[in-house]
Structure 1
Amino acid sequence: MKNRIITILLLFCCLLVTTPISAKKWRAKHTVLIALDGWGAYSVSKGNIPHIKNLMEQGSYTLHKRCVFPSASAINWASMFMGVGTELHGYTKWGSKTPEIPSRVVNEHNISPTIFSIMRKQYPDAEIGVLHEWEGIKYLVDTLALSHRGQAPSYDDYPEALCEMAETYIKDKKPALVAVCFDQLDHVGHKSGHDTQEYYNCLHTLDGYIGRIIQAIKDAGIWDDTIIMLTADHGGINKGHGGITLEEVEIPFIIAGKNIKQSGEFQESMMQFDTAATIAYVFRLEQPQVWTGRPMKQVFKK
């Protein structure tokens, strides 16, 4: 009898040593990242965006998050997902598909480690998705690490397509992590100008899509165990971006949901690459040594 008890205890100890951190210990079981290309922080106070502002009231936010240089798309989507700046991931141009400077560190898929690849490595069975409009996103997310990737058809012909894809995916798969990347606002910024009526009309439309995605999370029955994050790759001025003005560099970051403080605006500095680190903090992931991103721990209850 004594030997049997000892054997059971030994087996229990082995399970404790070999079992990874359970999903039950995540700060939330689901994280939904929604990012709007070309969304400058200056626009938040001026926009008719009730769903976005409601999330700001429910959680924490900053309107002083800064993108990395140059303040253009591929560079900043890479930093958002890869947890490092231009100097380390090596993507230096608006439309970079591969790094112009060799990435300082690459993973088994020969790409700088992304939030998706470290999630996959540490939780192999997790449902991980990326949905996007701009084709350039697919070169920056490590598609081999994803459970699902979907690119919406042209929003000129079908503007609601990405929203509908996100609604369906969330309700069908209840992903642990999904990024939904809208391009429409940046397109309007280039065509009609940033900080114009056309720009704010588009921002209002996107706010409606965000409301629909929130409803999809609720319809999926996972709202009470979800963290939602809203951010951007860069802002803009006149009909462009890539420069060093605050209109181009400062972007919003809003976070609300499970285990997030309802504390309003936080004063700590945040950079683009801190987004990946903050998602990693939700799932208690071990960050790669190369990452320079810091999680915004102050917005969490625990």
Structure 2
Amino acid sequence: MKTVLKASMVLLLLIGTFFSCNPKLEERPKQLVKHVVLIGSDGFGAYAFKKAKVPNLRRLMEEGSYSLKARSVLPSSSAVNWASMIMGSGPELHGYTEWGSKTPELPSRIIGKGNIYPTIFSLIDEQLPESKKGVSYTWGGIGYLFEKDMVDLDFNGKSDEETKDKALNFIINEKPTLSFIHFDEPDGAGHSIGHDTPEYYEAVEKIDSLIGNIINALEMNDLLDDTAIIFSSDHGGIGKGHGGKTLEEIEIPWILYGKNIPKKGKLNSSIVTYDTAATIAYLLGLETPRFWRGKPITEAFN
């Protein structure tokens, strides 16, 4: 009898171990919103909030949740961090390691159906297959970082204004589940004139006005009630460059706003670029792959 009992216990232990180690996805949360608009502003350092007049972003901060201590992955440059933002992992896994990476310099640890490291778009494509999704971007480098055959909008604008207009037309008419809007400024001003200059802050304030346009359009078309807006950046800057390890380069803003999301104000969580993808998945009730390293910023929802 003791031998049979021991054998049964061993068998149950093995079964439990098998099921605990093999699932590919985390437990699926409840869907909180119908639409997510991810707005990324290239080179927008968190330090800009000290001097720039950004009333629209401050409205989102006051009525939502935010951190001005979020951090980019290293190196603190563009393709590395935009990839991390939508791929839920850092360069050690997705393999994009340089400012202008078009293909991974380091072989991606996982290759998904889109023949790249799986992004938030592939999760939506798999779990919400009828959903619309799109990307409107000013910097052409974004076009190498997502699964083009899985989106309904792939638009590379010539200016941030054009990028915004195309995105809004898509959002209003198609009501997508996820829209990623990438603005190239204030990175251009930072490189050509310098960070922490009057021209840089002028570019920051222009981005704020575009965000105001987006908020107003969502309100006018009765979309804001079921939408979450996330605003973030890829890096900051110092002098006329970035890519280093100073706080001016790696600290970025991270803002979450939604009428159905609690007003939490300043967050204490440690936020890294790749946590954005996981938070989007959480908002949409998606299961996240275990190979992702990002985690949802649940402090904003509790």
For structure 2, the 5+ residue unaligned runs are 1-29
Distance in 2 between the 1:27 and 1:170 partners? 18
Provide TM-score, normalisation by structure 2: 0.88
- Other-structure match for 2:150: 145
Aligned to 1:260: 261
SS of the aligned residue for 2:50 comes to: coil
C-alpha separation in 2, matches of 1:289 and 1:263: 28
In the alignment, does 2:37 pair up with 1:36? Answer: no
Within a 5 Å distance, the mapping from 1:62-73 to structure 2 comes to: 62-73=67-78
Distance in 2, matches of 1:142 and 1:117, equals 7
Corresponding residue number in structure 1 for 2:244 = 243
Distance 1:84 1:43 in 2: 26
Q: 5+ unaligned residues in a row in structure 1: which ranges? A: 1-24
- Report the AA paired with residue 60 of structure 1: S
Distance in structure 2 (CA, Å) of the matches to 1:98 and 1:217? 35
Residue in 2 aligned with 1:162? 163
**1:85 matched to 2:90:** yes
TM-superposed CA distance for 1:260, in Å, is: 1.8
**Superposed displacement of residue 184, structure 1:** 2.0
Residue correspondence of structure 1 range 40-119 to structure 2 within 5 A:
40-119=45-124
Identity %, equivalent residues: 49
Deviations 1:232-273 (A, max 9, x none): 011111100000000000000000113322121011101110
How far, CA to CA, are the matches of 2:146 and 2:218 in structure 1? 23
Name the SS of the counterpart of 1:149 in structure 2.
Answer: strand
SS of 2:294's equivalent in the other structure is coil
1:135-168, Cα deviation, whole Å (9 max, x unpaired):
0001001112212111102x3xxx5211211221
* Segment of structure 1 superposing worse, 25-34 or 276-285: 25-34
Q: Structure 2 counterpart of 1:210, which letter?
A: I
Kindly indicate whether the alpha-carbon contact (under 8 Å) linking 1:89 and 1:104 is maintained by their aligned counterparts in 2: yes
In 2: Cα distance, 1:258 partner to 1:177 partner: 17
Mapped partners of 1:209, 1:141: distance in 2: 24
Counterpart code for 1:190 = H
1:163-212 Cα deviation digits (max 9, x unpaired): 21122112111111101000121011000101110011011111110000
- AA in 2 matched with 1:273: Y
Residue-by-residue CA offset, 1:71-101 (whole Å, 9 max, x unaligned): 1000000000100011000111110000011
Measured in 1, the distance between the counterparts of 2:255 and 2:273 equals 13
Q: Secondary structure at the residue paired with 1:160?
A: helix
How many residues align structurally?
273
* Structure 1 stretch displaced more, 122-131 or 251-260: 251-260
Q: Give a deviation string over 1:2-45, Cα, whole Å, max 9, x none.
A: xxxxxxxxxxxxxxxxxxxxxxx520011111110001001112
Q: Aligned residue for 2:286?
A: 285
**Alignment partner of 2:139 out of 134, 146, 150:** 134
Contact 2:275 2:294 (C-alpha < 8 Å) held by counterparts:
yes
Structure 2 distance, partners of 1:166, 1:146, is 13
Asked if structure 2 preserves the Cα contact closer than 8 Å seen for 1:171 and 1:219, the reply is no
> CA deviation digits over 1:207-227, x for unaligned, max 9?
110000111111221111111
Give the Cα–Cα distance (whole angstroms) in 2 for the partners of residues 151 and 26 of structure 1: 30
Do the aligned partners of 1:35 and 1:180 also contact (CA within 8 Å) in 2? yes
1:289 positional shift: 1.6
Q: Residue 227 of structure 1 aligns to a residue in which SS?
A: strand
Contact 2:95 2:106 survives alignment (8 Å): yes
TM-superposed CA distance for 1:50, in Å, is 0.4
Partners of 2:153 and 2:139 in 1: how far apart?
16
Q: In the TM superposition, what is the alpha-carbon distance from 1:281 to its structure 2 partner?
A: 0.3
SS at match of 1:184: coil
Moved over 2 A (4+): none
